[in-house]
Amino acid sequence: MHDLVIRNGTIVDGTGAPKRTGDIAIQGGLIASADGKAGPGKREMDADGAIVSPGWVDVHTHYDGQATWDPLISPSCWHGVTTVMMGNCGVGFAPVKPDSHDWLIGLMEGVEDIPGTALAEGIPWGWESFGEYLDALEAQPRAVDVATQVPHGAVRAYVMGQRGADCEIATADDIDAMAAIVREGVRAGAFGFTTSRTELHRTVDGKPVPEMYADTDELIGIGRALRDVGRGTFGLVTDFKDVDAEFDWMRKLAKESQRPVWFLMAQTDRHPDMWRDLAAQCQSARDDGADITAQVAARPIGVLLGLEARMNPFSTRAAYREIAHLPLKDRVEAMRNPERRRAIIDEQVEHKDPIGRAIARDFNKMFPLMDPPDYEPAADTSFAAIAEREGRAAADLVYDHLLSDDGHALIFFPLFNYARGDHEDIRAMMQHDVTMVGLGDGGAHCSVICDASNPTYLVSHWARGRTRGEKLPLEWLVHQQTGRPAGYFGFHDRGVLAPGKRADINIIDFDALMPRKPEIVYDLPTGGRRFIQRADGYRTTMVAGTVTFENGEHTGALPGTLLRATDATAMAAE
């Protein structure tokens, strides 16, 4: 008698193999059988007409603080995600000295736009070493499993103090001390190490992140720590101002550390084909024996603009700032005043920041975000295109949209991965031999982004919903969200539906699967603001054989815990 049997589902097992019909039997939190007809179960679920897949594995999130107070790990929990990886982009909360709590909070707030007041109120602290942080994570039951990596910013600040925060070059002793912390962190259960070398990442005070100018000796010295342990990956984000120079040290790092190296890759408007050059460099490095992979997103990377969001096209104008403090209802009423309207729309503002300048005027890249949201909008649906057809000024049209739905309306403004106005480059990036899918940033950029829905979008849009180009096979897409990332990072106990594997499972009404429109809530500690996003189509999500969500609602079960890298769970990457 099995604990649970899922009957007659269409099994998409996470390996990329063709889908098949059969039963999934679960015993003791593990899959007992994943094909054919299973014996009786204490509980049986009819999955006829539904897709049965592994739970999604999301390898790029920033729940490092939220995971210490939120047992659900929302909004990822509403999108079929059963395992999240934290510690990305070189930011996190361990190791930390008792007098550095506020500094690490400021670093996370600056880089990932998570309210510092919420972090200060919500994080219980109680740890100093990375291992102690893992113990704290493990002590809290949750609905989703969490895994993490050692963040460079925290390590550098811990070892070098103010010198590290000021981006000074590390001494040999500094490097040895940082390497020792990374070795200890990975041995305690971290799945690797991450760093940041992009000018987009700044502290809350606008300063470069501590590791921004770390030299090759420091980076490779830390990489050797991974070699010493024999597991873990080395992840980074960089601006690639000098592509050859960056790949030179990345190649050297991969070879000397004998560990996989991965970096974030996206398409920019200024250099729309640069990603192809980076992919070619990856392939060349692999041919030369250096294991380098690019992590890419399943949709455009952009911001959400609105009166409730942190930004909108008029938010820097003095006539708007005068009323920006008002409650939404009162602000909408004030903006409807004809004199205020003209004052806001007609005001000219000079922006030194290129992103701020684009948000204030690039109406050709702004699209109304409806329910369900369209993340691959046609060019003729932009506010600029609509305004031209209607013989109106685009700014007036945007203004009217912001006031609609009682001020809850949103605008989608893709910053990356949309240089040609479609998803063709994204498709090519995802299908390239040197890439893996990630970059959802769950838990981060709370007031401008909600991309934790990427796993739902990856499967629903690319396999079914896409109307403007080639779709992709469901089996391949599920593999990219399960078996592929699990294998790469060493989560060898999950990611596929096979006997002996962890019973992390989604039962999906595929025809209904889609992300809903994002919405603003004030549910972070101290009433902090964030975007959340629900989804349709998830009939059941289970972690270790326990049902955690049914039709999008939490069952109350908290079977999730910390996933530690050990010799058994994190051997050589795929």
Tokens 């070795």, located at residue: 183
Distance CA 284, CA 24 (A): 42
Local confidence band at 353 (pLDDT 50, 70, 90 cut-offs): confident
Looking at residues 167-183, what average pLDDT do you find? 98
Q: Which of 303, 324, 252, 312 is nearest to 449 (CA)?
A: 303
Residue 571 has pLDDT above 60, yes or no: no
How is 315-333 classified by DSSP, letter by letter? Answer: TTSHHHHTTTTS-HHHHHH
The pLDDT value recorded for residue 574 is 37
Local confidence band at 572 (pLDDT 50, 70, 90 cut-offs): very low
With a pLDDT cut of 90, the percent of the chain lying above it is 97
Residue 327 has pLDDT above 70, yes or no: yes
- The contacts of residue 280 (CB under 8 Å, 6+ apart) are none
Q: What tokens does 415 get?
A: 């910053």
Distance CA 326, CA 496 (A): 50
The per-residue pLDDT of the chain, averaged, comes to 96
The pLDDT value recorded for residue 351 is 87
Q: Would you give the DSSP letter of residue 127? A: -
Q: Which helix (H) or strand (E) holds 528?
A: strand 528-532
Give me the torsion for CA of 434, 448, 374, 265, rounded to 10°.
Answer: -10
The pLDDT value recorded for residue 354 is 87
The pLDDT value recorded for residue 350 is 87
Looking at residues 267-295, what average pLDDT do you find? 97
Distance CA 397, CA 387 (A): 7
- The contacts of residue 470 (CB under 8 Å, 6+ apart) are 427
Give me the torsion for CA of 91, 94, 99, 102, rounded to 10°.
Answer: 30
Looking at residues 73-79, what average pLDDT do you find? 98
Local confidence band at 318 (pLDDT 50, 70, 90 cut-offs): very high
Decide: helix, strand or coil at residue 212.
coil
Q: Which of 353, 287, 279 is nearest to 315 (CA)?
A: 353
Q: Which CATH class is domain 56-300+424-488?
A: alpha beta
Task: Give the count of beta carbons closer than 10 Å to the beta carbon of residue 503.
Answer: 28
Evaluate whether 412 touches 304 at the Cβ level (below 8 Å).
yes
Residue 122 has pLDDT above 60, yes or no: yes
Residue 537 has pLDDT above 80, yes or no: yes
Residue 101 has pLDDT above 50, yes or no: yes
Looking at residues 57-65, what average pLDDT do you find? 98
Pairing between strand 505-508 and 519-524?
unpaired
Q: At what angle do helices 274-287 and 243-257 cross, to 10 degrees?
A: 30
- Residue 372, preceding bond cis, omega within 30 degrees? yes
Q: What tokens does 495 get?
A: 């990611």
Evaluate whether 40 touches 27 at the Cβ level (below 8 Å).
no
Domain spans in the chain, listed from the N-terminal domain onward: 56-300+424-488, 303-416
The pLDDT value recorded for residue 117 is 97
Q: Exposure of 339 by Cβ count < 10 A (0-12 exposed, 13-18 middle, 19+ buried)?
A: exposed
Local confidence band at 569 (pLDDT 50, 70, 90 cut-offs): low
pLDDT digit string (tens) for 214-265? Answer: 999 999 999 999 999 999 999 999 999 999 999 999 999 999 999 999 999 9
The pLDDT value recorded for residue 44 is 98
The pLDDT value recorded for residue 109 is 97
When computed from its CA atoms, the radius of gyration of the chain, rounded to whole angstroms, is: 24
Residue 573 has pLDDT above 50, yes or no: no
Distance CA 227, CA 236 (A): 17
Torsion sign over Cα 501, 503, 508, 514: negative
- The contacts of residue 559 (CB under 8 Å, 6+ apart) are 29, 141, 143, 543, 544, 545, 546, 548
What is the number of alpha carbons within 13 Å of residue 538 lying toward its C-beta? 33
Distance CA 504, CA 549 (A): 12
Q: How many helices (H) and strands (E) does the chain have?
A: 19, 25
Bridge partners (DSSP) of residue 524 are 528
Looking at residues 328-357, what average pLDDT do you find? 94
Q: Between the CA of residue 493 and those of 17, 29, 411, 499, 559, what are the distances in Å? A: 18, 12, 41, 10, 16
Bridge partners (DSSP) of residue 196 are 237
Q: Exposure of 104 by Cβ count < 10 A (0-12 exposed, 13-18 middle, 19+ buried)?
A: buried
Residues across the chain? 574
Distance CA 295, CA 439 (A): 7
Distance CA 260, CA 227 (A): 10
Evaluate whether 112 touches 54 at the Cβ level (below 8 Å).
no
Local confidence band at 513 (pLDDT 50, 70, 90 cut-offs): very high
- The contacts of residue 422 (CB under 8 Å, 6+ apart) are 376, 468, 469
Q: Between the CA of residue 426 and those of 238, 274, 277, 317, 436, what are the distances in Å? A: 19, 13, 15, 35, 12
Q: Which ranges of 408-545 would DSSP assign to H, the alpha helix?
A: 424-431, 454-460, 474-481, 483-489
Tokens 């909070």, located at residue: 105
Evaluate whether 65 touches 93 at the Cβ level (below 8 Å).
yes
Q: Between the CA of residue 277 and those of 145, 271, 490, what are the distances in Å? A: 36, 10, 28
Q: Would you give the DSSP letter of residue 144? A: S
Residue 412 has pLDDT above 80, yes or no: yes
Range of lowest pLDDT (13-27, 477-491, 559-573): 559-573
Tokens 């007031």, located at residue: 447
Local confidence band at 352 (pLDDT 50, 70, 90 cut-offs): confident
Residue 502 has pLDDT above 50, yes or no: yes
Range of lowest pLDDT (133-142, 504-513, 563-572): 563-572
Q: What tokens does 237 get?
A: 């984000």
Written in H, E and C, the secondary structure of 536-571 is: ECEEEEEECCEEEEECCEECCCCCECECCCCCCCCC
Whether the pTM exceeds 0.85: the reply is yes
